[in-house]
Chain A
Amino acid sequence: MPRDLQGWPPYASPGVVTGLLGLGLFGMGLALTLRSVRRAGAALRLTDADIRAYLTDVGTRRLGLMLALSVLYCLLLGRGFPYWLTTGGYLLAVMLVFRAGPWWQILLISAGSAAAVAYVFNRIFAIPLP
């Protein structure tokens, strides 16, 4: 029991409900596992060919690209770069990578969107930008 909670009855301690939730999740996880084993679904049966097919799938590559660009964008936010530049760059990169249209159209849309978002939030709503 933490020092600042000494004297509290055990049934009122902060861990009671979390403990019960953990027990519940353990029980349901166990039920799911047992059911999988009973239905012969426990073995993954993944082959090298399956993994290769998944990794070279166009959908997987698109997902990976989107994830990578989005994480990079979030990493750059709040690190001193101007918001309009980071956001415009992100939009431009995603639209170019996913071939959203002619380059001049993409450039216009990304610059316009980044400027609009920055203006509306910073100037109209007076919210500091990340």
Chain B
Amino acid sequence: MVLGPWHILVELWQLLTPLTLVYVTASTFIGIVIGMLPGLTATMGVALLTGLTFGFPPKDAILILICVYVGAIYGGSRSAILLNIPGTPANAATCLDGFPMARRGEAGPAIGLATTSSFLGTVFGLFCLAFFTPLLGKIALQFQSWEFFWLAIFGIIVCGNLTAPTDPLKGWIAGFVGLLVSQVGQEGIAAYPRFSFGFDQMRGGFALIPVLVGVYGIAEVLGVMRETVVPRVTTQIQKVLPRWRDLWLYRRTILRSGIIGVIIGAIPGVGEDVAAWVSYDFAKRGSKKPEEFGKGSREGLIAAETGNNACIGGAVIPVLSLAVPGSAPAAVLLGAMWLHGVRPGPLLMIEFPNYIWEVTAMFILASLAMLVLGLSLVRVLVKVLMVPRPILMPIVFVLCVIGSFAISVRVFDIWVMLAFGFLGYPMRKYNYPAAPMVLGVILGDMADVNFRRALIRTAGDPTPFFTRPISLVLVAVTLLVILSRSAWFRRILAAGSARAKAALARG
């Protein structure tokens, strides 16, 4: 732990080869382009590149995916500022102050502030990643089947709750559908085929990448192609470099948003969009000028962009320590790590002791590339926003197809991708969030195997599910999350707090 910074420097030094730098620059640029194009999200970008980089050496492939992830979360701020359309859901809060700034002729400073605060957020997140992953990893070593089962359920419930804030029931349904999807194919204890209906292709289950590409990629392609109006950039961009005074002035906001981003990132499946909104909300509440929020506040813009990028580091903490993704793009990253032979989880520090430092070094390179490209390629990137969607989207579709096919060289995977695209489109239209479903697909096997293994160990006695300390905490938090969304529970809480206040007033 004490030697952490030294290990990171060593890994960074090993990564600094000309070829690696080409990969970093190219993939961060691709990530920014994917992020800034409305309709293409970070999750889709990482999923697509997972298929495309399947033949690469594992280290290079993961580096490319991390660069795409960081670039895409940042890139979405560009269209949020210039078009008032968030490039990815993570940048929705950026629109509130970024676009008003652009309208009053401050597009350049807005882009500069978004870039530097994204950079600071990512750097804060990666330091938390380097510091907290080994700690969480040590705690995770105490997890056994009972805890892993509850961790999967906890992840689905919390993710469903936060990604569908108006109707958590839809989020939970999406999560359970994801869990059910993961049950297709040979199960993890006796390799008995489930729901294969006699088809050999189904015995292996649905591969993760085609499912993710379908839910995020195909659903997005269909959604974008349905739209008839494509907005155009009309804003002139002058000076991009931010005023350092602004960054110093809002240092508390940056720190607070960074902390919020990391904490939200570490919660399974929640992700960057929630981090940005919560950071924005806290910044507004703590601001000396809350009335400026929504009208081009620099503080609001900084809060949103720091929060969403800090979330990246936070989201990778549970990926590495528990093999539970903190966000949807992190879920794809986890899948990519599995594909390339790395097994994240409690044993990571034992099996791959330097992997955390390696990932941290990759994040450092990605954030530096994001800063340099973001501040230097302003006009080139604006031109990308001008590419007509009917040209871009069919090419994206072709890449989705070949990316899904390339993993196992099976046409069946193309159909899986298409089927999940057809499922993802109406899900989005009727407000069923995709993130819990994706999390369910990833955690399904963990829930299934650990539930049954736990029962086998106790000869069918379910008591330890509720009596082991960590299990008990997970059950309590899961129940609290469910109950907190029911009206009667909130009424009971309100009545209880009113009674307590009255009792206090009586002395």
Interface residues in chain A, defined as those with a beta carbon under 8 Å from any beta carbon in chain B:
2, 4-5, 8-9, 11-18, 21-22, 24-25, 28-29, 31-32, 35, 58-60, 62-63, 66-67, 70-71, 73-74, 77-78, 87, 90-91, 94-95, 98-101, 106, 109, 113-114, 117, 121, 125-130
Chain B 381-417, CB within 8 Å of chain A: the 1/0 string? 0000000101101110111011001100101001100
Q: Which of A14, A78, A106, A125 contacts B194 (CB 8 A)?
A: A14
State the Cβ distance, A87 to closest chain B Cβ, in Å: 6
Interface residues in chain B, defined as those with a beta carbon under 8 Å from any beta carbon in chain A:
52, 54-55, 169-170, 172-173, 176-177, 179-180, 183, 187, 189-190, 192, 194-195, 218, 221-222, 225-228, 388, 390-391, 393-395, 397-399, 401-402, 405-406, 409, 411, 414-415, 418, 447-448, 451-452, 455-456, 459-460
Most B-side CB within 10 Å, residue of A16, A17, A71: A17
A9 to B410, CA, bound (A): 36
With A14-B192, A113-B395 as known contacts, state yes or no: A99 contacts B180, CB within 8 Å: no
Q: Are B192 and A5 in contact (CB under 8 A)?
A: yes
Q: Are B405 and A130 in contact (CB under 8 A)?
A: yes
Q: Are B194 and A18 in contact (CB under 8 A)?
A: yes
With A14-B194, A128-B409 as known contacts, state yes or no: A25 contacts B173, CB within 8 Å: yes
A111 to B172, CA, bound (A): 44
State the Cβ distance, B450 to closest chain A Cβ, in Å: 9
In the assembled complex, which residues on chain A have CB atoms less than 8 Å from the CB atom of B54?
125, 127
Closest to A87 in B: B398
In the assembled complex, which residues on chain A have CB atoms less than 8 Å from the CB atom of B418?
70-71, 74
A22 to B406, CA, bound (A): 33
With A28-B173, A77-B411 as known contacts, state yes or no: A121 contacts B390, CB within 8 Å: no
Q: Which of A9, A21, A67, A101 contacts B180 (CB 8 A)?
A: A21
A60 to B228, CA, bound (A): 10
A87 to B172, CA, bound (A): 38
A22 to B225, CA, bound (A): 35
Q: Are A28 and B55 in contact (CB under 8 A)?
A: no
Q: Are A28 and B176 in contact (CB under 8 A)?
A: yes
In the assembled complex, which residues on chain B have CB atoms less than 8 Å from the CB atom of A18?
180, 183, 194-195, 448
Majority-rule SS of B interface residues? helix
Q: Are B395 and A66 in contact (CB under 8 A)?
A: no
State the Cβ distance, A10 to closest chain B Cβ, in Å: 8
Majority-rule SS of A interface residues? helix
Closest to A93 in B: B394
Q: Are B173 and A29 in contact (CB under 8 A)?
A: yes
Q: Are B192 and A2 in contact (CB under 8 A)?
A: yes
28 pairs across A/B with beta carbons < 8 Å?
A5-B192, A9-B455, A9-B459, A12-B452, A12-B456, A16-B451, A17-B183, A32-B169, A62-B227, A66-B226, A66-B393, A74-B415, A87-B398, A94-B394, A94-B397, A95-B390, A95-B391, A95-B394, A98-B225, A99-B390, A109-B391, A113-B395, A113-B398, A114-B398, A121-B406, A125-B52, A127-B55, A127-B405
Q: Are B455 and A22 in contact (CB under 8 A)?
A: no
With A71-B418, A125-B54, A125-B406 as known contacts, state yes or no: A66 contacts B183, CB within 8 Å: no
In the assembled complex, which residues on chain B have CB atoms less than 8 Å from the CB atom of A73?
397, 401
State the Cβ distance, A33 to closest chain B Cβ, in Å: 11
Q: Which of B225, B406, B448, B455 contacts A66 (CB 8 A)?
A: B225
In the assembled complex, which residues on chain A have CB atoms less than 8 Å from the CB atom of B391?
95, 100-101, 106, 109
Q: Are B173 and A17 in contact (CB under 8 A)?
A: no
A21 to B342, CA, bound (A): 29
State the Cβ distance, A103 to closest chain B Cβ, in Å: 13
Q: Are A66 and B221 in contact (CB under 8 A)?
A: yes
A89 to B139, CA, bound (A): 55
Q: Are A8 and B180 in contact (CB under 8 A)?
A: no
State the Cβ distance, B161 to closest chain A Cβ, in Å: 13
State the Cβ distance, B426 to closest chain A Cβ, in Å: 11
In the assembled complex, which residues on chain B have CB atoms less than 8 Å from the CB atom of A121?
402, 406
With A25-B176, A125-B406, A127-B409 as known contacts, state yes or no: A62 contacts B226, CB within 8 Å: yes
Q: Are A28 and B172 in contact (CB under 8 A)?
A: yes
A51 to B189, CA, bound (A): 49
Q: Are A77 and B390 in contact (CB under 8 A)?
A: no
With A14-B187, A18-B183, A78-B411 as known contacts, state yes or no: A58 contacts B390, CB within 8 Å: no
Q: Which of B180, B395, B402 contacts A25 (CB 8 A)?
A: B180
Q: Which of B190, B225, B447 contacts A62 (CB 8 A)?
A: B225
Q: Which of B183, B402, B409 contacts A117 (CB 8 A)?
A: B402
Q: Are B401 and A74 in contact (CB under 8 A)?
A: yes
A62 to B222, CA, bound (A): 9
Q: Are A127 and B406 in contact (CB under 8 A)?
A: yes
In the assembled complex, which residues on chain A have CB atoms less than 8 Å from the CB atom of B52?
125
State the Cβ distance, B461 to closest chain A Cβ, in Å: 9
Q: Are B226 and A63 in contact (CB under 8 A)?
A: yes
Closest to B149 in A: A17
